[in-house]
C-alpha cells in the first residue's frame, strides 16, 4: 500500500495541486485520496489522541444498514412485475423465478441509484469547489435513500430534478452538510409529491403497469399500494359499497395481510415495503450506536398509540385497522429507522429525541388516516417534526437553564 500511496503522492497529486493542469478538480482528487487513505494528519491542538471513528465510517455503516431493504426491494420489484403479468401467482413459492425477479429489480433500481448519486454528488463537488472545503460524506446516505423512497417507475428525469432541488434548496443554501433543516431525501420525495402530483399518483408502483402491460394485467391485480386503497375508504361508512372488498385484502391471506406487510410482499416504494428488512437495518444502526434508539422506539410507540386511539373510535374502515398492522404498512418503518433518525434534522437532546420521535410516529398515522390526499403521512410527519425539532430542543434546554437559575437564586446573599 505504501507503493500505491507514493505513486499517488508523487505522480498523480501534483496534477491537482495549485498550478497543476487539473487544479480545478482538486476536490475530486482529495475525496478519492482520503477515501483510500485516512490522511496522515497528526493532531495539533487539544487531545493528542483521537477516536478511530470518523464521518466516513459513520456514513458507510448507515449505507450498510440500508442494504437489506435495497436487496429485498429489488427482488420485490420483480416479484410484483411477474405477479402483475400473471406469470407467477401469490400461491407459488416465493423462491420461484428468484433470479429473474431480482434482475428486473436491478435493472429498474440501478439507474435510479446512478442518477441520484450522479446528480447529487455532482452538485456537492461543485459547491465544495466554490466553498473550498473538502467533500462532506453526508450525501452518500441521502443519495442511497432517495432511490429507496421512489416508486419504481418514476421517470429518471424527475429523480434528477428532485435530487437537484433537495441538494441545492434543501441543503446547500443553508450552508451544506450539518446545516440543513429538512431531511434531504424527504425533501426530494416531497418535491416530487407536490410538483408532479399527477405522475406520482399514477400506476407507477409496479414496474410496467403504466406501459405495455397495461392491458394485460392479471385479473384482480390493481397495482395500487395498501395506503392508496385504504385512503379510498375514508369518508365512507363502514358498511359502504366496496369498503368490505378493500378491507378483505388486509385479512389473513389477502394481498396486504399483516404477514405480507411485515415481510414486504406488497407494492410500494422500492425500499420501504419490508418491515423485516428495515428492522434488520435498524438492528445494525442500534448495534453500532449510529441510529438513535430513542427516536426509533418513541416513533414506534407514537404510531401504535395513534393507531390504538383510532381503533377506539373506529369511525371508518381505515381506523379499524389494528395498530400493529398500521405501522408495518407504507413507509412508516422506513421513515422511523432511516429518516427520523437523521441526526442533523432530528432533535439533538436526548429528551428532545424522545418527544420528537413520539410525535413523528403519532402524526404519521394521523395524517394518513385523516387526509386521504396524502396517503404517505410519514413523509409529511417527519418533515413537520424536522421543523419542530429546534423548538423541542429549545424547551428541553430551557428546563436545564431554569434549574441552574433556580440554584443560583437560592443562594445566601452573603456568598453572591
Instruction: Tell the smallest beta-carbon distance from residue 72 to other proteins (Å).
Output: 24
Q: Which is nearer to other proteins, 133 or 259 (CB)?
A: 133
Distance CA 25, CA 248 (A): 58
Instruction: Tell the smallest beta-carbon distance from residue 123 to other proteins (Å).
Output: 16
HSE-CB at 375 with a 13 A cutoff on CA atoms is: 20
Q: Which is nearer to other proteins, 43 or 95 (CB)?
A: 43
Instruction: Tell the smallest beta-carbon distance from residue 182 to other proteins (Å).
Output: 15
Q: Which is nearer to other proteins, 39 or 215 (CB)?
A: 39
- Single out the residue of 263, 199, 268, 271 nearest to residue 228, CA to CA: 268
Instruction: Tell the smallest beta-carbon distance from residue 33 to other proteins (Å).
Output: 9
The residue to which cell 472545503 is assigned: 133
- Single out the residue of 394, 342, 337 nearest to residue 361, CA to CA: 337
Q: Which is nearer to other proteins, 111 or 395 (CB)?
A: 395
Q: Residue 43 gets which letter from DSSP?
A: P
Distance CA 169, CA 163 (A): 10
Q: Which is nearer to other proteins, 84 or 341 (CB)?
A: 341
Q: Which is nearer to other proteins, 77 or 285 (CB)?
A: 285
Q: Which is nearer to other proteins, 198 or 406 (CB)?
A: 406
Instruction: Tell the smallest beta-carbon distance from residue 7 to other proteins (Å).
Output: 13
- Yes or no: say if 181 and 174 are a contact pair by the CB < 8 Å rule: yes
Distance CA 314, CA 87 (A): 39
The residue to which cell 429518471 is assigned: 156
**Residues near 218 by beta carbon (within 8 Å), at least 6 away in sequence:** 83, 84, 85, 86, 89
Instruction: Tell the smallest beta-carbon distance from residue 24 to other proteins (Å).
Output: 21
Q: Residue 150 gets which letter from DSSP?
A: S
Q: Which is nearer to other proteins, 178 or 237 (CB)?
A: 178
CA distances from 86 to 89, 205, 250, 347 (A): 6, 16, 21, 47
Instruction: Tell the smallest beta-carbon distance from residue 413 to other proteins (Å).
Output: 11
- Yes or no: say if 207 and 104 are a contact pair by the CB < 8 Å rule: yes
Give the count of beta carbons closer than 10 Å to the beta carbon of residue 91. Answer: 5
Task: Point out which residues bind other proteins (CB under 8 A).
Answer: 1, 4-5, 34-58, 60-61, 134, 136-138, 176-179, 287-290, 292, 343-344, 346, 348-350, 353, 393, 397, 400-401, 403-405, 407-408, 411, 415-416
Instruction: Tell the smallest beta-carbon distance from residue 172 to other proteins (Å).
Output: 12
Amino acid at each position: 500500500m505504501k507503493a500505491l500511496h507514493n505513486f499517488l503522492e508523487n505522480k498523480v497529486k501534483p496534477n491537482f495541486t495549485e498550478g497543476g493542469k487539473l487544479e480545478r478538480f482538486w476536490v475530486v482528487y482529495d475525496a478519492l485520496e482520503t477515501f483510500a487513505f485516512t490522511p496522515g494528519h497528526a493532531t495539533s491542538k487539544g487531545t493528542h489522541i483521537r477516536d478511530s471513528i470518523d464521518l466516513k465510517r459513520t456514513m458507510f455503516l448507515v449505507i450498510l444498514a440500508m442494504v437489506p431493504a435495497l436487496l429485498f426491494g429489488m427482488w420485490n420489484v420483480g416479484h410484483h412485475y411477474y405477479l402483475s403479468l400473471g406469470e407467477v401467482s401469490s400461491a407459488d413459492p416465493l423462491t420461484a423465478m428468484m433470479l429473474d425477479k431480482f434482475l428486473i429489480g436491478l435493472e429498474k433500481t440501478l439507474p435510479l441509484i446512478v442518477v441520484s448519486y450522479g446528480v447529487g454528488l455532482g452538485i456537492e463537488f461543485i459547491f465544495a469547489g466554490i466553498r473550498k472545503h473538502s467533500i462532506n460524506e453526508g450525501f452518500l446516505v441521502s443519495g442511497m435513500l432517495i432511490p429507496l423512497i421512489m416508486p419504481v417507475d418514476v421517470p429518471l428525469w424527475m429523480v434528477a430534478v428532485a435530487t437537484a432541488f433537495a441538494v441545492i434548496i434543501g441543503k446547500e443554501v443553508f450552508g451544506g452538510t450539518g446545516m440543513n433543516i429538512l431531511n434531504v431525501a424527504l425533501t426530494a420525495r416531497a418535491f416530487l409529491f407536490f410538483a408532479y402530483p399527477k405522475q406520482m399518483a399514477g400506476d407507477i408502483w409496479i414496474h410496467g403497469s403504466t406501459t405495455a402491460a397495461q392491458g394485460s394485467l392479471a385479473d384482480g391485480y390493481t397495482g395500487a399500494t395498501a395506503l392508496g386503497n385504504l385512503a379510498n375508504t375514508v369518508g365512507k361508512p363502514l358498511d359502504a359499497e366496496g369498503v368490505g372488498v378493500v378491507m378483505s385484502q388486509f385479512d389473513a391471506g389477502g394481498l396486504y395481510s399483516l404477514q405480507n406487510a411485515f415481510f414486504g410482499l406488497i407494492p410500494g416504494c422500492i425500499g420501504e415495503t419490508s418491515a423485516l428488512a428495515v428492522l434488520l437495518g435498524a438492528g445494525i444502526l442500534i448495534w453500532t450506536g449510529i441510529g438513535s434508539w430513542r427516536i426509533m422506539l418513541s416513533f414506534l410507540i407514537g404510531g401504535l398509540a395513534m393507531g390504538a386511539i383510532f381503533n377506539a373510535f373506529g369511525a371508518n374502515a381505515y381506523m379499524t385497522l389494528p395498530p400493529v398492522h398500521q405501522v408495518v404498512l407504507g413507509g412508516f418503518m422506513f421513515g422511523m429507522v432511516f429518516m427520523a433518525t437523521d441526526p442533523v434534522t432530528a432533535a439533538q437532546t436526548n429528551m428532545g429525541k424522545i418527544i420528537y420521535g413520539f410525535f413523528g410516529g403519532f402524526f404519521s398515522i394521523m395524517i394518513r388516516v385523516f387526509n386521504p390526499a396524502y396517503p404517505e403521512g410519514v413523509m409529511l410527519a417527519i418533515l413537520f417534526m424536522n421543523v419542530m425539532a429546534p423548538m423541542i430542543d429549545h424547551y428541553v434546554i430551557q428546563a436545564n437553564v431554569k434549574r441552574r437559575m433556580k440554584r443560583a437564586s437560592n443562594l445566601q446573599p452573603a456568598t453572591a
